[in-house]
Amino acid sequence: MTRTLVRWFVVVILIAHGLLHLLGAAKGLAWAEVATLTEPIAPALGVVWLAAAIALVVTGVLFAARARMWWVAGFVGLLISQAVILTSWSDAKAGTLANLVLLVALGYELASNGPRSYRAEYRRRVATALHESAPGMDSIVSEADLAHLPAPVAEHVRRSGAVGQPRVSSLRAIIHGRIRASATSRWMTYTGEQVNTYGPTPSRLFWMDATMFGVPVDVLHVFVGRSATMRVKLCSVLRMVNAAGPEMDRAETVTLFNDLCILAPSALVDAPVAWQQIDDTHVRGVFTNGLQTVSADLTFRGGDLVDFRSDDRMSTSRDGSTFTPQPWSTPVGDYRLFGARRLATHGEGRWHAAAAQGEFAYLEYNLDEITYNSGTAATRM
């Protein structure tokens, strides 16, 4: 909510600032007497005041509409506006404050969406991953493909709507929810986008746009092949977390297995998993990706997966420099259809910590949209 209020505050400032420039246009073009502007304004300069007004109002409208290229109009408007303010400094110097607001907004736009931003890196990596995702994965899943799976896993895949549908080579999911650092921390709301590919070099690319105390937080997970990183920036500028290394690779391998079970059950028919059925409702899976081999216990109820628990995922410190082995689980539920696919729409990430803190949910997610084998790098950012 705070970020929305800030956005609309900037919109109001920009449009009001633009409309005030009409006073200079009115005086310079002799449309009306403007007593508040005591210095003379030539007709040619009146045209420039009008251009500044149009550019700033257009900037405000584009910013309100979240148009990706709003900054172009903003940059033009800033230059023209400050130029005409300097020509009538004694009358119009207060407009510099509004231009400073625009300058800050433009700086944040460069930091958050520029070529060196996490958003831009996410888009590039998604485009590459989808381009490189293996062809030949679009054959239809049949009932015979489920024969090697334990009965609970086969039923879960069957109920997901996989049979009769193409094999999954990639997925793109849109989610929202909230996240926190510990059992006593405040929740942060977030929206997220995720792209996974399941070719010879599997990948998991996850972008999270979170809010902490009203301040934007960018989170980027990159897992391509055998290497994983997690990076976090405050206001797209201040680095808070930079996690990498063998422990991070192992943790993300667990998450990749988790995604297979929850978001892409169809892909389990070809996944490198060794299964062991424990009883009618519990199955252990051992998943291998490159040098990493991890295991998890899956719990089923009524044919649906309801929990995934692993001892191979590690929690990270606040700065991502240290990792602590900790049992991790993701209870899921609220299944519904997404086209022909039936998936869980709500879930949690839980740490099963020491007795002093106990089990607690650090993540809540809701699945809003999911598509498979789209072959496009389109994003909603």
Taking only the tens place, the pLDDT of each residue in 114-128 is 888 999 999 999 999
Average pLDDT across the chain, whole number = 91
pLDDT of 358 above 80: no
Per-residue CA distances from 168 to 9, 75, 134, 222 (Å):
44, 44, 10, 20
pLDDT of 376 above 70: no
H helix intervals, the chain? 2-28, 43-64, 70-87, 89-92, 95-113, 118-132, 151-159, 246-262
% of the chain with per-residue pLDDT over 90: 74
Q: List the one residue out of 195, 172, 204, 203 whose CA is nearest residue 369.
A: 172
pLDDT of 356 above 60: no
Asked if residues 179 and 186 have their Cβ atoms less than 8 Å apart, the reply is no
pLDDT of 355 above 60: no
pLDDT of 1 above 60: no
Per-residue CA distances from 112 to 41, 61, 122, 219 (Å):
39, 20, 12, 11
DSSP letter for 140, please: B
Apex CA 363: angle with CA 360 and CA 195, to 5°?
150
pLDDT on residue 381: 52
Task: Decide the pairing of beta strands 341-352 and 359-372.
Answer: antiparallel
The lowest-confidence range among 4-8, 67-71, 208-212, 326-330 is: 4-8
Asked if residues 107 and 99 have their Cβ atoms less than 8 Å apart, the reply is no
Q: For the whole model, what pTM was predicted?
A: 0.83
pLDDT on residue 226: 84
pLDDT on residue 7: 80
Taking only the tens place, the pLDDT of each residue in 180-228 is 988 888 999 999 999 999 877 889 999 999 988 888 899 999 999 889 9
The lowest-confidence range among 180-189, 267-276, 277-286 is: 180-189
pLDDT on residue 377: 44
Cβ-based neighbours of 276, under 8 Å, separated by 6 or more: 150, 283, 284, 285, 286
CA 70, 75, 80, 82: dihedral to nearest 10 degrees?
120
DSSP letter for 148, please: T
Q: What type of residue sits at position 147? A: A
- Mapped onto helix, strand or coil, the DSSP state of residue 320 is coil
Model confidence at 133, in pLDDT bands (50, 70, 90)? confident
User: Can you say how many angstroms the Cα of residue 200 is from the centroid of all Cα atoms in its chain?
Assistant: 25
Taking only the tens place, the pLDDT of each residue in 286-308 is 999 988 999 999 999 999 999 99
Mean pLDDT, residues 79-99: 95
Give burial (CB, 10 Å; 0-12/13-18/19+) of 32.
exposed
Rounded CA-CA distance 269/148 in Å is 8
pLDDT on residue 141: 95
DSSP letter for 28, please: H
Rounded CA-CA distance 285/256 in Å is 13
The lowest-confidence range among 96-110, 164-178, 346-360 is: 346-360
